[in-house]
Chains A and B, each alone.
Chain A
């Protein structure tokens, strides 16, 4: 099986997979297909079951019922070591007693590969991850970003069927996170290997994924490309989860006027006009990001404070009266159950 791994496909299929801890069902029957070479991200608030799902695919967590197929092969009973997957952990999970070189070489050594081939592969991985100068250091002597790169190096040398990432960037600071995000995306474009990535950060999902799987309490709320999710959220949960700042969601008279129980409009789809807008209100806090300005508008008569995303040059003062003109063709309408209308 190992010799022909390179020509294998990395399709992963979950069929009616469930997971229960004692009597608590954390994942009700779930079906999902992740195609070969796809970058799929599980997103949701913490406790939504996305890590559990990833661990089930990895084999670290047993499946209560249902089937998991990798390359068309049913693997629910196969131990993690035999599934041909590589995983990058949030905590990096490096072997503290081994040098960087030994950490990266470890899976190859376990596979029984010859020393000279191991050396070549480790050097190659270290070079592509800028770790060459650190090969003889222990993990304790590395920074967070370097440790995460070692963890990635340990995963790529194996040439796995698929990569699993369990919130790999959450322990890094903001600046490093952006850099590593790019590196992982770059790696995916280069290697074209299936990747499954778990995150709570919708920005990571939007920027990296080919396919986003939004989960809530173990249930898939929506599957789609980042732009599909952004443009056509299937329900209120997805509408509120995807996008930053969050979509404005109103109930009440204004929603009813549009024939919906809940009406949504993204902050970037509202224009500030001098007069003739649909809603009027007073400027509250304005957040200047340089490129953008987020304006929180009060006293509009709507059920919630309206957030507007305007250009960076907007100059408004606290308490100014403004008029808002939402682009009505970009309204999102939801029924009483929170399901998208149309």
Chain B
């Protein structure tokens, strides 16, 4: 009896406490970043102002007035929206073909696509820079959108492939018998049925595109530079501008956190959607 009540006590109090502790641990850096963004650069490094300080909006005002935050933000939005759209445009038909019409090499192609993610990005850094400069595409939006979509394509195809696999092939075949062509199958049956899965894939890819830093920092200077570049640009070697850096970072992650928050329901829905047999 004692053992039972002990374990149920753990379930009742211990587990939530543990979950909260872990949650707070993960959340703390973000909390600290947001807090620091309201401090002056001088206050940011002083331990006595860790929690209690005079909040100021200077960093944010400074950012929008002197660092052209909105241009970087606009580029981030353009990059993420177009790259996500392009990725879905290619990955939905690809995953559809692989899920419903597998050939002998489908598995190998899937593995090969995944293997490209194992390649260190740095290994192709110089070819990429030379190639983009040679083609006159360096620091253009089209280059960034293409590169960002291509690096996310394998993940998108893998995710969608898994979702599509759960749809009984009979339903697709019923569509064929009902007079639907390939495009119709995707539009009328596949997309509505896998809507939750497609939405979660799109959201994840959008987040990846938004957060992409390696290539956006290295392949842009001004015209196509995204928020990652702005953060990078505020990284002073002396380490004295913590306030400013925190404000820029907060403004960069803010939109995506809000998006994730709003799409929570869609994400959960996507994971629990089941087809009727």
Q: Are B168 and A107 in contact (CB under 8 A)?
A: no
Tally A-B pairs: CB < 8 A: 71
A256 to B168, CA, bound (A): 53
Min C-beta distance of A208 to chain B, whole Å: 21
Number of A residues near B (Cβ < 8 Å) is 30
Does B122 make an interface contact (CB < 8 A)?
no
Cβ–Cβ < 8 Å partners of A19 in chain B: none
Q: When the two chains form their complex, are residues B179 and A110 in contact, meaning their CB atoms are under 8 A apart?
A: yes
Q: Which of A6-14, A94-102, A262-270 lies at the interface with chain B?
A: A94-102
Q: Give the CA-CA distance A317 to B160 in the complex, in Å.
A: 65
CB nearest neighbor in B for A112: B179
- Within 128-172 of B, Cβ neighbours of A (below 8 Å) are at 168, 170-171
> Which chain B positions have C-beta within 8 A of A89?
170, 173-174
Segment 181-203 of B: residues with Cβ below 8 Å from A: 181, 184, 188-189, 192-193, 195
Asked if A131 CB lies within 8 Å of chain B CBs, one says no
Asked if B177 and A81 sit within 8 Å, CB to CB, the answer is yes
CA distance A138 to B195 in the complex (A): 17
Chain B 252-277 interface residues, beta-carbon cutoff 8 Å to A: 275-277
* Smallest beta-carbon distance A94→chain B, Å: 7
A69 to B40, CA, bound (A): 83
Does residue B218 face the partner (Cβ distance < 8 Å to A)?
no
B178 contacts the other chain (CB 8 A):
yes
A154 to B178, CA, bound (A): 8
Nearest-neighbour CB distance to chain A for B104, whole angstroms, equals: 9
Count class of interface residues, chain B: 20 to 34
Does B176 sit within 8 A of A, measured CB to CB?
A: yes
Beyond A85-B177, A93-B171: 20 further Cβ-contacts under 8 Å? Answer: A80-B173, A81-B176, A81-B178, A81-B179, A81-B180, A86-B177, A89-B170, A89-B173, A91-B168, A93-B168, A95-B174, A95-B193, A96-B171, A106-B178, A106-B188, A107-B179, A110-B184, A110-B188, A111-B179, A140-B276
Residues of A within 8 A of B (CB): 58-60, 79-82, 85-87, 89-97, 106-107, 110-111, 138-140, 147, 154, 158, 164
A-B contact pairs, 25 of them (CB 8 A): A60-B176, A80-B173, A80-B176, A80-B177, A81-B177, A81-B178, A82-B179, A86-B178, A87-B177, A90-B170, A91-B168, A94-B171, A94-B276, A95-B193, A96-B275, A97-B192, A97-B193, A97-B195, A106-B188, A107-B179, A110-B178, A110-B188, A111-B179, A154-B174, A158-B178
